């Protein structure tokens, strides 16, 4: 499968270059790069000692490097470090997950060493992953993508006092996947109330990337008049090899994917754990589901696991229930 639209069709290189090279942005990028170098050296020391050293260290040590990341405008890296600090203190600490989280930070820091040599779209994504947030007004130079969008899954979470919704969408006409993040203070309502299997219409504004995924909803984004979902078996052409897309964007650790249920038991995924979003094992469920070739699985895949989020069958979409 090839992207439904090449990135250059919605992102202007001239616009992005001018934006990233503005004096304020250049100063921030220099600060972020310096911070990533500090984190890189800290990670090397940690790897040299062994990650079990985290259990022997005080939480203050991890909090200190996290605070330095905040000072250097790498807020997203700081948040990941705080999550690691919390995980290590759990009685059922998942050491493998922590190793994966640390490796992701390591590869991001390695990328920062070449930040000025990266292609513009990859550079923009690296900065966004590390903590440079896009605002809608920043993306006025991006061509909006209009379609009817099926909501494949919604996940709610908290970041301190912020309630978050992560919404996965697929365009009916463009057949492109999108990921939208919504935020609300505590129990205030979200700007849009997405539900799995709901159909919306309107424009999405994608963040600059070599493989566009994250997006804002446009100003006139609303529930579609018709809630009829087409036979999503026709969407098999948007199933793709994650390995191929990692070649285009090695910075993205986790990828949303649509797969026929039969693929969940084939040799391609034998090396991956299949879980729900909470980490519960779903091997037995997926072995049973693999007998029905009309089912399509939607989830996210990283280097070690496939997180199953919802099932799709013809004109239906429903969330996966935890065991």
For residue range 263-284, what is the model confidence (pLDDT) as tens digits? 776 644 556 788 888 788 887 7
pLDDT at 235: 62
**Residue 172, Cβ neighbours under 10 Å: how many?**
17
pLDDT category at 240 given cuts 50, 70, 90 is low
- The larger pLDDT score, comparing residue 286 to residue 201, is at 201
Record: fold of 141-223: OB fold (Dihydrolipoamide Acetyltransferase, E2P) (2.40.50)
- The larger pLDDT score, comparing residue 286 to residue 82, is at 82
pLDDT at 5: 66
pLDDT category at 4 given cuts 50, 70, 90 is low
Is pLDDT at 221 greater than 80 in this prediction? Answer: yes
pLDDT at 267: 43
Region 101-122 average pLDDT: 96
Region 4-33 average pLDDT: 92
Where are the domains positioned within the chain? Answer: 9-133, 141-223, 232-319
* Segment 144-183, tens digit of pLDDT: 999 999 999 999 998 878 999 999 999 998 888 999 999 9
The kind and range of the H/E element at 146 are strand 145-159
Q: What is the pTM of this model?
A: 0.91
b/e sequence 100-138, b meaning 16+ C-beta within 10 Å: bbbebbbebbebbeebeebebbbbbbbbbbbbbebeeee
**Residue 3, Cβ neighbours under 10 Å: how many?**
16
Is pLDDT at 258 greater than 80 in this prediction? Answer: yes
pLDDT at 302: 87
pLDDT category at 1 given cuts 50, 70, 90 is very low
* Segment 126-141, tens digit of pLDDT: 999 999 999 999 999 9
- The larger pLDDT score, comparing residue 128 to residue 59, is at 128
């Amino acid at each position: 499968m090839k992207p439904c639209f090449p990135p250059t069709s919605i992102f202007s290189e001239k616009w992005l270059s001018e934006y990233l090279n503005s004096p304020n942005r250049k100063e921030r990028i220099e600060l972020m790069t310096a911070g990533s170098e500090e984190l890189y050296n800290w990670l090397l020391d940690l790897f040299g000692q062994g990650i079990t050293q985290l259990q022997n260290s005080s939480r203050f040590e991890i909090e200190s490097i996290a605070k330095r990341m905040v000072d250097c405008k790498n807020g997203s890296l700081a948040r990941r470090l705080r999550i690691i600090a919390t995980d290590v203190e759990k009685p059922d600490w998942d050491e493998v997950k922590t190793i994966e989280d640390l490796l992701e930070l390591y590869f991001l820091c390695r990328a920062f060493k070449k930040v000025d040599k990266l292609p513009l779209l990859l550079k923009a994504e690296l900065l966004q992953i590390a903590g440079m947030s896009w605002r809608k007004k920043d993306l006025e130079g991006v061509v909006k993508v209009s379609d009817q969008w099926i909501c494949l899954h919604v996940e709610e979470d908290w970041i301190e006092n912020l309630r978050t919704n992560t919404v996965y969408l697929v365009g009916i006409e463009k057949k492109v996947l999108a990921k939208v993040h919504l935020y609300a203070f505590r129990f205030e309502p979200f700007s849009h109330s997405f539900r799995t299997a709901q159909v919306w219409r309107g424009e999405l504004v994608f963040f600059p990337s070599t493989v566009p995924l994250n997006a804002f909803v446009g100003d006139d984004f609303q529930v579609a008049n018709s809630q009829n979902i087409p036979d999503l078996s026709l969407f098999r052409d948007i199933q793709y090899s994650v390995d191929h897309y990692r070649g285009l964007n090695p910075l993205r650790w986790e990828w949303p994917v649509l797969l026929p249920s039969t693929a969940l038991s084939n040799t391609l995924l034998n090396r991956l754990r299949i879980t729900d979003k909470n980490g519960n094992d779903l091997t037995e469920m997926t072995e049973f589901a693999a007998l029905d070739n009309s089912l399509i699985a939607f989830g996210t895949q990283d280097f070690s696991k496939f997180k199953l989020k919802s099932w799709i069958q013809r004109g239906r979409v429903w969330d996966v229930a935890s065991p």
